[in-house]
Amino acid sequence: MNDEEIRGAIQKAISEEHVMLFMKGTPDAPACGFSARTVQMLGTLGVEYSALDILPDPRIRQQLSDVSGWPTIPQLFVKGELVGGCDIATEMFESGELAELLEVSQPEAAPLQPSIEQAPIQLGDA
């Protein structure tokens, strides 16, 4: 894939997936603590989401940052809009704003624990 194709696949994933997480690693094997924490929050909320590992090709991260204007990973998108990275998602999770945005119930005193993981998507998936 060239840069334009990667960018197109990223934009397609953002626009077509209700909840899209760009992360290091996969939901069942996060490759950094920030990605793991974001996966845990989504799992605690019981949200279905798609995920893309940015690590296999450094161009994915570059094209993602160009599309989103956000430099760090993970990046969480809901309904085609950038929510932010782990810190913003954590603040929103703790305040209940993330559950509200995702239209799910906020668990009472929800500890962050892993849940059933979602299958990662691959660039070029239709």
- Contact of 101 with 92, CB cutoff 8 Å: yes
pLDDT value of residue 111: 52
pLDDT value of residue 120: 55
Task: Name the residue ranges covered by the structural domains of the chain.
Answer: 3-101
For residues 31 and 24, give the distance between their C-alpha atoms in angstroms, rounded to a whole number.
5
Q: Which residues of the chain have pLDDT under 70?
A: 109-126
Dihedral in degrees, nearest 10, Cα atoms 60, 62, 90, 117: 10
pLDDT value of residue 123: 64
pTM given for the model: 0.84
Task: Give the CATH fold of the 3-101 domain.
Answer: Glutaredoxin (3.40.30)
pLDDT value of residue 1: 86
DSSP at 104: S
